C-alpha cells in the first residue's frame, strides 16, 4: 500500500469563490484527501428540519473535480444552538453538578437519548445524500470523543442510564452490594434506584462504585458511536473512522474501534510535549520544537491495534498550535518527519490540520499549511516534499514487531480510581516501557488483552489491574519471555484484592506480600544499579530472583520465561532489565543515540531523528529533524 497525504478543510469558513483555487493547490501539493464537514451542523441545518446541503454538494464537487477524495464528518461534536431549545437537558454536567454550556464545542452528554437520536438523524441524512457519492470515500463519525474532558457527565440522563446498566450487570442489588463490599461504611443499597453517580461524596467513594461508573461512561461512548455507525452502514461502502486523541484513556478505544473500519488519531507532538508530558525540564527543552521522540510512535502502534491494522493520522500538527501553555514552532523538517514516522508505523494516510489558518474565533493562532492571507506557511513545502517522496518509494507493509506491550483501558481507570501513589499513572508506565524498548532500537507492537499472544518473542504486561484466569493461563503457556507487572493482577474485576494474593501466575511461585508507593525522594536503589521509583511490591516465594534491592529484597522473579516485575524501575534499571529479557528472547538490541529511533517495516528500516543535531548511525547520516531509510537485506 502507498500511503497518502491529506488536509482538514472547512469550506464553510471561506467564500465559495476561493474553493476551486484551494482545491487546485491541494492537488498541486500532492494531497489526496480533504476532510470536511465535522463542525458544520449550523450551516447544514440552520433551523430544526430546514436542511441546507447545496453548499456541501458544491464543496464536495469542487474538491472531487480537483481529484481529491473526501472524508466527510458527521457534525455531532458541535450541536447548533437551537438543539438546546429542543433538548434543554442534553448538556453534560460536571462533577459539581453544573451544566457545561453552549459557546464552544462538545456540549452534549453521551447518555442523552434525545440528542443521540438527533445525531442518528443527521448521520442518516448525510448518508442518504452522500453515501454513494463517488468523491466521498471515507467517513469520520463525530470528532475526538473525550476532548475537553467530556466522557464523564453527571447529568440526569447519565444517572438513569447508569442505574439501568447496573441492574443489567448485577441483576440484584444484593449482588451489587456483595460485589462492591458495601457493608463497609454502611453503604448498602436497597434498590438500584437509590444509586447515584459517584460525585459530590464527602470523601472518596467506593472504588468499585467508581469503576462501575467509568465502565458505564465508556459504554455510553461506545453506544453513541455505534448508533451513528449503524445509521451509516446501509448507506455507504466507504470506511467509517473516528479521530482519537493523544494520551486519552477515558473510554475503551478498542470497544469503540470494534464498530469502525479504521482508527485515526490527532497528532500534535509539540503541543503534547508542553501540555501532556511530565518529563523533566531538560527533556522538554531539548525536544521543544520536535515533540517527544516516543509519544507519537506509541500512539501510532496503539491505534494500529485499535484499528485492527488499519489506521491514519487524521490531524497532523503543521506549525504552532493555540492550545498548549506555550506554543513554539517546529524545527524545519518536523512536519515531514512526523508524516514519515507515521508511515513507517503503517499509517495509510496523514492529514495536516488545517489547510488555511482561520483569522477568526478560538483557533486563530493555530497554524495551517497556508497563512490567513493564503501565502504558503512553512509546512506546505514539507507536505509537498513528502508527497514526492511517497511517489518514489515502494509500498510500505508493516511488519510484526519482536516485542509487544499489552494495553488495557480499564487499567487506566483503575489506577486513577485508587492511585495509592500520587505518581502512579498507567499511561506513563506504558510510555516508560515503550520508550526504554525503543532506546534499545526496537520496533514495538501494542496489543489488546484479547489478542493472540504467541507471536511476540517478548511480551510485557504492565499494570494490568485484573488478570482473568483465562489470561493468566495464556500468559503462562506462552513460549518466549513474558514480563508481568508491576501491579498486574492486583485487583479483581470488581476492584477487590484477590485471594490467593497476586499475581498468582500459574507456574510462578511469587506472591506480593506488601505494597508501598514511594515519593520522588525515596527511590530504592537496586543491587545491579538504578533504582525502583514510585512503586515497590515486596514479593516472597521460591521463584528465582533476577534483581534485588541493595538490601537484598527481590524485585524481579522468574520461573522459566515467565517473570514478575515488582516495581517501577528508573530508566537505567529498566534498560538493563529489558535488554536482558531481549537477549533471553533472542532479540538483538543496540543502544540508540539520543533522539534517534528506528522502526522496521517488512522491507525497510526507517530512522527517525528527533534530535536537533545530525547523527551518524548504521552507516547512515541522518540530518537534524530528519528521516532516512534503507532496505532490509
Question: Which CB sits closer to ligand GAL, 105 or 576?
Answer: 105
Among 4, 22, 118, 266, which residue sits at the site for ligand GAL (rule: CB under 6 A)? 266
CB of 314 to ligand GAL, least distance (A): 8
CB of 6 to ligand GAL, least distance (A): 14
Active-site residue identified among 4, 118, 144, 382? 144
- Within 365-394, the residues that bind ligand GAL by CB under 6 A are 366
144 is catalytic: yes
Options 144, 292, 294, 547; binder of ligand GAL; rule CB under 6 A: 144
143 or 490: whose CB is closer to ligand GAL? Answer: 143
Q: Choose the stretch contacting ligand GAL; rule: CB under 6 A; options: 141-149, 411-419, 533-541, 607-615.
A: 141-149
Rounded to an integer, what distance in angstroms lies between the CA atom of residue 173 and that of residue 67? 59
CA 301 from centre of chain: 9
The stretch among 49-57, 142-150, 188-196, 247-255 that binds ligand GAL (CB under 6 A) is 142-150
| Cα-based distances in Å from 223 to 118, 145, 170, 246, 561 | 14, 12, 20, 22, 40
> CA 373 to CA 12: how far, in whole Å?
17
Pairing verdict, β 567-569 and 511-517: unpaired
Other CB atoms within a 10 A radius of the CB of residue 313 amount to 31
Comparison of 315 and 547: residue with beta carbon closer to ligand GAL: 315
DSSP secondary-structure letter at 398? Answer: B
Question: Least distance from C-beta 371 to ligand GAL, angstroms?
Answer: 16
Measured N-to-C along each axis, helices 173-180 and 156-170 cross at an angle, to the nearest 10 degrees, of 90
Task: Give the distance, in angstroms, between the CA of residue 214 and the centroid of all CA atoms in the same chain.
Answer: 17
Phi/psi of residue 404, nearest 5 degrees: -140, 150
Cβ proximity of 472 and 505 under 8 Å: yes
Name residues contacting ligand GAL, limited to 535-564 (CB under 6 A): none
Q: Is 118 a residue that touches ligand GAL (CB under 6 A)?
A: no
Is 144 or 255 the residue whose CB approaches ligand GAL more closely? 144
> Stretches 143-151, 297-305, 530-538, 568-576: which one binds ligand GAL (CB under 6 A)?
143-151
Strand partners, 482: 459, 562
Q: In whole angstroms, how close is the CB of 143 to ligand GAL at the nearest point?
A: 5
Q: How far is the CB of 368 from ligand GAL (least distance, A)?
A: 10
Site for ligand GAL in 303-362 (CB under 6 A): 315, 321, 323, 353
Which residue, among 382, 405, 302, 301, has the nearest Cα to 344 in the 3D structure? 301
Between 223 and 324, name the residue whose CB sits nearer to ligand GAL: 324
Asked whether position 143 contacts ligand GAL by CB under 6 A, the answer is yes
Q: Please identify which residue in 113, 125, 147, 376 interacts with ligand GAL, judged by CB under 6 A.
A: 147
CB of 253 to ligand GAL, least distance (A): 15
Shortest distance, position 517 Cβ to ligand GAL, whole Å? 33
* DSSP one-letter string for 195-217: PPPS-S-SS---HHHHHHHHHHH
Among 33, 213, 268, 340, which residue sits at the site for ligand GAL (rule: CB under 6 A)?
268
**CA-based angle 488:491:492, to the nearest 5?**
120
Contact by Cβ (8 Å): 63, 70:
yes
- 3-state SS track over 376-388: ECHHHHHHHHHHH
Cβ nearer to ligand GAL, comparing 62 with 316: 316
| Residue 41 near ligand GAL by CB under 6 A | no
- Per annotation, catalytic residue among 315, 348, 428, 537: 315
Of 549, 577, 410, the C-alpha closest to 491 is 410
C-alpha closest to that of 204 among 499, 495, 564, 481: 495
Task: List residues with catalytic annotation.
Answer: 144, 315
- Note the residues at the interface with ligand GAL (CB under 6 A): 143-144, 147, 266, 268, 315, 321, 323, 353, 363, 366
Amino acid at each position: 500500500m502507498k500511503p497518502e497525504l491529506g488536509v482538514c478543510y472547512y469550506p464553510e469558513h471561506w467564500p465559495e469563490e476561493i474553493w476551486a483555487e484551494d482545491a487546485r493547490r491541494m492537488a498541486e501539493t500532492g494531497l489526496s484527501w480533504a476532510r470536511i464537514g465535522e463542525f458544520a451542523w449550523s450551516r447544514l441545518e440552520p433551523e430544526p428540519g430546514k436542511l441546507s446541503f447545496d453548499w456541501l454538494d458544491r464543496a464536495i464537487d469542487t474538491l472531487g473535480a480537483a481529484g481529491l477524495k473526501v472524508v466527510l464528518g458527521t457534525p455531532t461534536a458541535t450541536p447548533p444552538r437551537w438543539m438546546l431549545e429542543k433538548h434543554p437537558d442534553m448538556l453534560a454536567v460536571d462533577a459539581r453538578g453544573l451544566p457545561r454550556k453552549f459557546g464552544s464545542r462538545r456540549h452534549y452528554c453521551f447518555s442523552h437519548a434525545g440528542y443521540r437520536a438527533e445525531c442518528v438523524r443527521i448521520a442518516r441524512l448525510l448518508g442518504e445524500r452522500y453515501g454513494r457519492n463517488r468523491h466521498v470515500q471515507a467517513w469520520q463519525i463525530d470528532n475526538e470523543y473525550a476532548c475537553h474532558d467530556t466522557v464523564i457527565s453527571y447529568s440526569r440522563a447519565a444517572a438513569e442510564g447508569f442505574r439501568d446498566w447496573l441492574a443489567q450487570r448485577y441483576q440484584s442489588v444484593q449482588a451489587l452490594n456483595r460485589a462492591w463490599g458495601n457493608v463497609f461504611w454502611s453503604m448498602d443499597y436497597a434498590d438500584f434506584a437509590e444509586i447515584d453517580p459517584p460525585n459530590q461524596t464527602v470523601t472518596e467513594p467506593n472504588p468499585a462504585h467508581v469503576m462501575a461508573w467509568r465502565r458505564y461512561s465508556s459504554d455510553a461512548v461506545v453506544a453513541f458511536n455505534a448508533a451513528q455507525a449503524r445509521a451509516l452502514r446501509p448507506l455507504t461502502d466507504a470506511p467509517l473512522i473516528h479521530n482519537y486523541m493523544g494520551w486519552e484513556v477515558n473510554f475503551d478505544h478498542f470497544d469503540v474501534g470494534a464498530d469502525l473500519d479504521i482508527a485515526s488519531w490527532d497528532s500534535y507532538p509539540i503541543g503534547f510535549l508542553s501540555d501532556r508530558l511530565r518529563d523533566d525540564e531538560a527533556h522538554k527543552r531539548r525536544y521543544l520544537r520536535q515533540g517527544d521522540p516516543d509519544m507519537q510512535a506509541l500512539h501510532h502502534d496503539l491505534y494500529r491495534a485499535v484499528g485492527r491494522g488499519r489506521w491514519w493520522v487524521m490531524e497532523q500538527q503543521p506549525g504552532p498550535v493555540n492550545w498548549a501553555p506555550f506554543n513554539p514552532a517546529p524545527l524545519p523538517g518536523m512536519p515531514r518527519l512526523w508524516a514519515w514516522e507515521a508511515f513507517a508505523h503503517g499509517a495509510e494516510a496523514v492529514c495536516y490540520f488545517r489547510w488555511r489558518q482561520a483569522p477568526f474565533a478560538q483557533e486563530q493562532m493555530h497554524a495551517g499549511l497556508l497563512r490567513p492571507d493564503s501565502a504558503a506557511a512553512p509546512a506546505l513545502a514539507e507536505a509537498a516534499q513528502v508527497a514526492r517522496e511517497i511517489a518514489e518509494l515502494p509500498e510500505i507493509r508493516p511488519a510484526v514487531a519482536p516485542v509487544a506491550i499489552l494495553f488495557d483501558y480499564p487499567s487506566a481507570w483503575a489506577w486513577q480510581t485508587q492511585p495509592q501513589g500520587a505518581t502512579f499513572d498507567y499511561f506513563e508506565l506504558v510510555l516508560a516501557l515503550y520508550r526504554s524498548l525503543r532506546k534499545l532500537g526496537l520496533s514495538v507492537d501494542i496489543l489488546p488483552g484479547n489478542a493472540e499472544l504467541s507471536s511476540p518473542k517478548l511480551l510485557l504486561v504492565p499494570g494490568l489491574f485484573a488478570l482473568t484466569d483465562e489470561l493468566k493461563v495464556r500468559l503462562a503457556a506462552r513460549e518466549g519471555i513474558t514480563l508481568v507487572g508491576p501491579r498486574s493482577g492486583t485487583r479483581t474485576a470488581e476492584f477487590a484484592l484477590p485471594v490467593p494474593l497476586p499475581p498468582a501466575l500459574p507456574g510462578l511461585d511469587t506472591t506480593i506480600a506488601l505494597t508501598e508507593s514511594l515519593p520522588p525522594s525515596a527511590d530504592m536503589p537496586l543491587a545491579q544499579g538504578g533504582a525502583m521509583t514510585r512503586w515497590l511490591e515486596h514479593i516472597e516465594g521460591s521463584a528465582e530472583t533476577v534483581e534485588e534491592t541493595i538490601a537484598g529484597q527481590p524485585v524481579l522473579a522468574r520461573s522459566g520465561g515467565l517473570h514478575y516485575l515488582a516495581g517501577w524501575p528508573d530508566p537505567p534499571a529498566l534498560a538493563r532489565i529489558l535488554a536482558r529479557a531481549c537477549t533471553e528472547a533472542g532479540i538483538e538490541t543496540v543502544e540508540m543515540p539520543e533522539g534517534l529511533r528506528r522502526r522496521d517495516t517488512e522491507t525497510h528500516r526507517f530512522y527517525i531523528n528527533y534530535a536537533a543535531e545530525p547523527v551518524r548511525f548504521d552507516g547512515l547520516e541522518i540530518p537534524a529533524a530528519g528521516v532516512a531509510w534503507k532496505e532490509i537485506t
